[in-house]
Structure 1
């Protein structure tokens, strides 16, 4: 249940079980010499690039590793929209606040459930809410199931990250924004 990179940082051996990952795009960008390749990958969540490089090398009957790795986007956030730390530190506090995006932006890829005022108050107080009425009024592309994590919303405001458990929506992280 621990993240692989946390274990690796503590110098513990990490053995990851093979599992399917989504590779949306894989392009050879450059090949400076016969022993080096520059690849650009667009992947789904949970794809380990070092494992991907190893697997590609093994399929080619060779060995390989990554000598440089750069994340150019994370979720809906492209690198081009980031602000360098040095620039951020020089900004006026009001200017910094103007640059901040609402928390809902980061939660956009999590299924959202529409709450009533009463349900939002219950979740905000740490109490569960029945799933069925909420799921019926929420426009979900796919139904939520046991152990799914959802974003409980009141209008356009995130109230909580919650888990589906036993026919209920149980708050995991409540937002006091």
Structure 2
């Protein structure tokens, strides 16, 4: 039987950040394409992959916001992870085959000592079942073929590990860490430190930079909404930079800044800033200050700035509180 033709939609410019609560089993790209279709957006991108096994915060960028997606990629992350103690698997998570079982005989002091051991700057060996590439090929492709390749340990920063719950063989922890941290590897390493082994049985991302699960929407809820309600969920284009300090320029200086010109400022050096025009406050882009000069990094186009200020633009959510 012939498949029905997929409904064609009319794409249009959409600008902003959608805080998606990614469902279990979906790839980040599949979730992005579904949201892009529902919003009829011309341009969209996500801010780093979240494994199909994981749920939780996946910021999706639309239009002008895609220029700043790297900021979220580089930002610190937070996760709630559930570890199954006493079992190791081929993949380090629940999707793999159990390769080893050991008795679990640990107490609270041992748990605290184990998580403390992996707090701070640590080296992690990337797992074979990961998207990291070697010679142009993802590691999981080698793993599926039964090949183990040499990998180089990577330095990551674990800011904090808090024990949320522990019962029998199940340990739940909250982790705050730098980008590039493999929570699956962390789970296995904690299991080895406890002497019983472990694998990651569930994972939920709870934060990325200044963004949290507050204000997230599921794909099911998004699909059930009308178009106006979907658009109203979009966070401002500068949401990914909400924890950066800001600079506000007058109209003349803002116009020159948008052309890429450097501006003199009587302010100390700063590595990363949000830059705005005069009231009504218009977001112009990102910059840094070196030797008294405001140097543009990523700029919105004049058309994008005007689109964000237009009264015909979708209803705007409450703006995020400016950083001090």
1:122 aligns with: 256
Q: 1:149 aligns with which of 272, 278, 299?
A: 272
The alignment partner of 1:162 has SS state of strand
Judging changes above 3 Å, is the alpha-carbon distance between structure 1 residues 98 and 157 closer, same or farther for their aligned structure 2 residues? same
2:284 aligns with: 159
**Residue 228 of structure 2 corresponds to residue 99 of structure 1:** no
2:138 aligns with: 10
**Residue 184 of structure 2 corresponds to residue 48 of structure 1:** no
The alignment partner of 2:166 has SS state of strand
**Residue 159 of structure 2 corresponds to residue 22 of structure 1:** yes
Deviation at 1:160, TM superposition (A): 0.7
CA distance in 1, matches of 2:152, 2:220: 35
Deviation at 1:167, TM superposition (A): 3.9
CA distance in 1, matches of 2:231, 2:282: 18
Aligned 8 A contact 1:21 1:47 in 2: no
Judging changes above 3 Å, is the alpha-carbon distance between structure 1 residues 174 and 91 closer, same or farther for their aligned structure 2 residues? same
Stretches of structure 1 lacking an aligned partner (at least 5 in a row): 136-142
Judging changes above 3 Å, is the alpha-carbon distance between structure 1 residues 160 and 14 closer, same or farther for their aligned structure 2 residues? farther
Mean Cα deviation higher: 121-130 or 61-70: 61-70
2:222 aligns with: 88
Judging changes above 3 Å, is the alpha-carbon distance between structure 1 residues 117 and 56 closer, same or farther for their aligned structure 2 residues? farther
Aligned 8 A contact 1:114 1:152 in 2: yes
Aligned 8 A contact 2:165 2:173 in 1: yes
Deviation at 1:70, TM superposition (A): 0.9
Aligned length: 159
The alignment partner of 1:118 has SS state of helix
Judging changes above 3 Å, is the alpha-carbon distance between structure 1 residues 72 and 21 closer, same or farther for their aligned structure 2 residues? closer
Judging changes above 3 Å, is the alpha-carbon distance between structure 1 residues 62 and 125 closer, same or farther for their aligned structure 2 residues? farther
CA distance in 1, matches of 2:250, 2:158: 36
Deviation at 1:45, TM superposition (A): 4.7
Judging changes above 3 Å, is the alpha-carbon distance between structure 1 residues 82 and 161 closer, same or farther for their aligned structure 2 residues? same
CA distance in 1, matches of 2:254, 2:177: 31
CA distance in 2, matches of 1:81, 1:107: 17
**Residue 299 of structure 2 corresponds to residue 174 of structure 1:** yes
If you compute each CA radius of gyration, which structure gives the higher value, 1 or 2? Answer: 2
Aligned 8 A contact 2:269 2:288 in 1: no
CA distance in 2, matches of 1:169, 1:65: 48
Q: Larger relative CO (CA 8 A, sep 6+): 1 or 2?
A: 2
Stretches of structure 2 lacking an aligned partner (at least 5 in a row): 1-73, 75-125, 140-148, 306-324
Deviation at 1:52, TM superposition (A): 4.4
Which one has the bigger strand percentage?
2
Relative to the length of structure 2, the TM-score reads 0.41
